[in-house]
Chains A and B, each alone.
Chain A
Amino acid sequence: MLISDLKLLLRFNTDSIFEEVSQTNMIKTGDSSISVLSNGGGYVMQNDQYLFGDGISSDGYSTDISSAMTLGFWLYPVSPGLAINPNNSLPTSIEMPLLDFTDIGSATSSVIKLTEHTSETGSNYLKVSMFNENYSASSEEYIPLTWHYFWIVYSENGLGIYIDGKQNSLQNENGSVPSSLSGSFLDLYINHSVEGYSWNLAKNYGIIDDIFVLNIANSNNSDIQRVINDGVKFLVDDIYTSTFVDKSSIYFNDPETITITSLIDDMSYVIAGRNDGKILRGSPLLWENRRSFSNLEEIDILGLSSSSQEDGFLKLVNETVRL
C-alpha cells in the first residue's frame, strides 16, 4: 500500500502512462506513439510529443503541497549542444522542458517548473523555478548520456537539489524561496513548454523514469540511497519501507600463477605441493630430463636402430617402450 505522503507516482511500466496515486492515465499530445523502455525502464521523451495529466475528473492531482515537497526521478539526459543567438551570433545555452506543475486548468500559471539547460562545457544543468520564475535556482553541471538521479527538496527553509545522491551547491539563485506553494491540486506537463518554443528553447528527448512527489520535505540520505539503490518502492510502498537488504558480494578469481612450494621424492613418487593448496603425486620417470630430438645424435645416444626424428619429436619404428 502506498504511503499517505505520496502524492504522485509515475513508474512508466506500460505504454499507458499510469499515475498510481490518482489511478488515472496521462494524456499524450502529438502524432508519434508513446515510447516506454521495457521492464519499466522509463519514458522516452520525443520531439513532437508531450504528456499531460490532470488527475481524477480533471480536478488536478491532489498534491496537497503547502510549505514542503520532495520530488525525485531518474533522468537520462541528452545535449543538443548550443544554439547561435540570431542577435549577436554567439553560442547560447539551449533550454529543454522537463516537468511543469501548473495550477489546474491553467496552461500558463506554473507553480513548479523543471527545465534542463545545455552549457559550453558539453554538460547540462537543471533549473528549478517556482511561481513563474519568481524564484529559481540551478544545479551543478552533470554529464549527458548517463543516468542520473535527481532529488529535489523544497521547504520554507529553502531548496535542495541532490544529484546522484550528493547535495549540489545552488547556482544562479534568483528571488526568494516562497513560503508556500499553495499547491493543493496541480496539473502536470512532461516535456512541454507552456510558453512555446524559440531558437534556444527546444524539446527534450532524454529518458525520464520513476517520478514521485511527496508533500513533505525529506532530505534523509538513507531514503535517497534506498530509492537509488533498491528502487522507489522502498520509499513509497509500506510493504517495503520496513524491509532492509543486507548485501554481500563474494568475489573470487582462480589463482593466476601456480607455483610449486615444496617437493619430495620418496623414491616411489614425486610429491609436489602447490601454492593453491593442491598436492600432486607423480611417477619420477615422468620427471626425468626431457630431451630434444632435434639433433639426430640424440637418437644415436639411445641406441635405437630404426627410429627417426621429425620436428624435434622422436619417431619410434619397430621399437618397444615400457609404459
Chain B
Amino acid sequence: MSILKLYLTSLEPDMSQTIYSQSIGGYVSNSLIYPETTVSSIVGLYDTSVSLDTPSSGNWSEWTGIEYININNELMKVSPVSNGSISVTQRGYNGIVNMHIKDDIARASSSKELFNDVFNDEHKQYRCIALKNVSSLTEPSGEQTATDISVYFKQSSRNSDSVIRIALEKPTNQYLNSISTSWSTMQIIDTSLIGIYLDNHFKESYLKILSGEGTGQAKIISSFDSETGTYTFYNSFSSSYDYSINVKYEVFPSPAQRIKTGTEVPTMTGENIIPFFVPDENTPMRFIIEGSEFSTSDLAPNDILYIWLEREVKKGTAKFENNDLVLNINYGVS
C-alpha cells in the first residue's frame, strides 16, 4: 500500500524548512507541510471528540497553538491540543463531514501558514510543495508504487476573493539506488547506467552514500556523463576514504525550479510542467505522455511530484478568512 505525504520545499537538500513562506521550490525538505499523527479509534459522522495517537516525535510540542485538525478532507476546529484527547468545537469547518477510522492520518493546521500577505503587482503569490511516496523500499516494490496519480481540488478556497490554481512539476529524474563501479573524491562511476540516461540527467540531484566509507555523506551532482556513467560533484568527498572499495549509493529526485521570492512567477514551460489550472474531480491534472511505454504518472517509493500553488486575491480585499482548500490525490495500486 502506498503512503503519500506532502512536504515543504527548501533551498538546500536534506534540510528542515521552518519558514512556510520559503517553500518556493528547490529540494524536498524534511518538514511535512503540517505535523501529523494517526487516529486511534473510530470517529463517527457527528462525534465531537477525537482520540489521536502520540506523534512519532513522542510529544505534542509541535501541536501547540493548533486551531484546526484535518482528517480525510474534513477540517475540525478544536480546543487547544495538549494530548491525544481532542475536543472538537466545530465539525466540518470547511463544510465537509467525514467518518474516520483507526490509523487515518490526522494533520495539525494552524490558521496562518503557507501563505502570507505579500503579493506581487498582479496580487499573486506562489508556493511549492512536494508530494512524496514515503512507502518503504522493499522488493518487489510494485505494491508500494502509487499508479496513475491525479491531483484535483475537492474544495477550492471558500473565500470568494481568493483564487487558488495549481501547477505540477515533474523532477527530471526520480529516485535511484545502485552500486558504484569506481569512485573518487569528485566522481562516482556506475557503468550500469551507461547509455540509459541522457547527459546531465541527474544534474543538481542529491546523491548519498549508503555503505562503506562515507556512509551518510552526500553531495550535489554537477554533471552526469551518459557515455561513461559518471557523476561529478560540485565539491569533494574526504580524501581520507578508501576509494578502492565500491559503495552503494542513492540519488534523490531532482529539485524543482526555485523562485527567488514567493511573489515571482515560476516558469511554466517545458515537458516537465503542467501549467496553472483549476482542476476538479472531472478534470484532474496528471502526467501522461502519448505513446510512452511507461506511465509518467506513477510514484515509486521515494519518488516525488512537485505541486505549485498560485494564490490570487482581488485588489482591495480587506479580509482573508476561510482560505482553505482541499487537495485530493487519486491513485491506484498495482
The answer to whether A249 touches B109 (Cβ under 8 A) is yes
The answer to whether A249 touches B44 (Cβ under 8 A) is no
Check A164/B111 contact, CB under 8 A, given A249-B326, A253-B322, A254-B320.
no
Q: Scoring B residues 60 to 98 as 1 if CB is less than 8 Å from chain A, else 0, what string do you get?
A: 000000001010111100000000000000000010001
Residue from the set B98, B99, B118, B322 with the largest chain A CB neighbour count within 10 Å: B99
Could you tell me which residues of chain B, from 92 to 150, have a CB within 8 Å of some CB in chain A?
Answer: 94, 98-102, 107, 109-118
The answer to whether A225 touches B99 (Cβ under 8 A) is yes
Could you tell me which residues of chain A, from 221 to 274, have a CB within 8 Å of some CB in chain B?
Answer: 221-222, 224-225, 228-229, 242-256
- Of all chain A residues, the one with the shortest Cβ separation from B22 is A277
List, in ascending order, chain B residues with CB within 8 A of A224's CB: 99
> A165 vs B113: C-alpha distance in the bound complex, in angstroms?
32
Is B6 positioned at the interface, with any CB of A under 8 Å from its CB?
Answer: yes
> A251 vs B46: C-alpha distance in the bound complex, in angstroms?
22
Q: Scoring B residues 11 to 46 as 1 if CB is less than 8 Å from chain A, else 0, what string do you get?
A: 000000001010000000000010000000011111
The answer to whether A250 touches B116 (Cβ under 8 A) is no
Is B325 positioned at the interface, with any CB of A under 8 Å from its CB?
Answer: yes
Q: Which of B73, B94, B115, B328 contacts A252 (CB 8 A)?
A: B115
A-side interface size class: 20 to 34
The answer to whether B323 touches A254 (Cβ under 8 A) is yes
Is B331 positioned at the interface, with any CB of A under 8 Å from its CB?
Answer: yes
> A163 vs B44: C-alpha distance in the bound complex, in angstroms?
8
List, in ascending order, chain A residues with CB within 8 A of B45's CB: 148-149, 164-165, 228
- Of all chain A residues, the one with the shortest Cβ separation from B71 is A247
> A163 vs B43: C-alpha distance in the bound complex, in angstroms?
11
- Of all chain B residues, the one with the shortest Cβ separation from A146 is B46
The answer to whether B320 touches A246 (Cβ under 8 A) is no
Q: Scoring B residues 321 to 334 as 1 if CB is less than 8 Å from chain A, else 0, what string do you get?
A: 11111111111110
Is B168 positioned at the interface, with any CB of A under 8 Å from its CB?
Answer: no
The answer to whether A165 touches B329 (Cβ under 8 A) is no
Smallest beta-carbon distance A244→chain B, Å: 6
Smallest beta-carbon distance B106→chain A, Å: 11
The answer to whether A250 touches B42 (Cβ under 8 A) is no
The answer to whether B101 touches A250 (Cβ under 8 A) is no
- Of all chain A residues, the one with the shortest Cβ separation from B321 is A253
Is B154 positioned at the interface, with any CB of A under 8 Å from its CB?
Answer: yes
List, in ascending order, chain B residues with CB within 8 A of A252's CB: 111-115, 323-324
Smallest beta-carbon distance B310→chain A, Å: 13
The answer to whether A276 touches B118 (Cβ under 8 A) is yes
List, in ascending order, chain B residues with CB within 8 A of A256's CB: 112
The answer to whether B328 touches A253 (Cβ under 8 A) is no
- Of all chain B residues, the one with the shortest Cβ separation from A221 is B101
> A248 vs B309: C-alpha distance in the bound complex, in angstroms?
13
> A242 vs B21: C-alpha distance in the bound complex, in angstroms?
36
- Of all chain A residues, the one with the shortest Cβ separation from B118 is A278
> A97 vs B150: C-alpha distance in the bound complex, in angstroms?
43
The answer to whether A254 touches B325 (Cβ under 8 A) is no
The answer to whether B68 touches A251 (Cβ under 8 A) is yes
The answer to whether B328 touches A251 (Cβ under 8 A) is no
- Of all chain B residues, the one with the shortest Cβ separation from A247 is B73
Please give 15 more A-B residue pairs, beta carbons under 8 A apart, in addition to A221-B102, A243-B332, A254-B115. Answer: A148-B45, A164-B46, A164-B99, A165-B100, A228-B98, A245-B328, A245-B330, A246-B4, A247-B73, A247-B154, A249-B70, A252-B113, A253-B323, A276-B118, A278-B116
Interface positions of B (Cβ within 8 A of A): 2, 4, 6, 19, 21, 33, 42-47, 68, 70, 72-75, 94, 98-102, 107, 109-118, 154, 309, 320-333
Q: Return 9 A-B CB contacts under 8 Å, by A number.
A: A165-B43, A245-B329, A247-B327, A247-B329, A249-B107, A251-B68, A251-B110, A251-B324, A253-B321
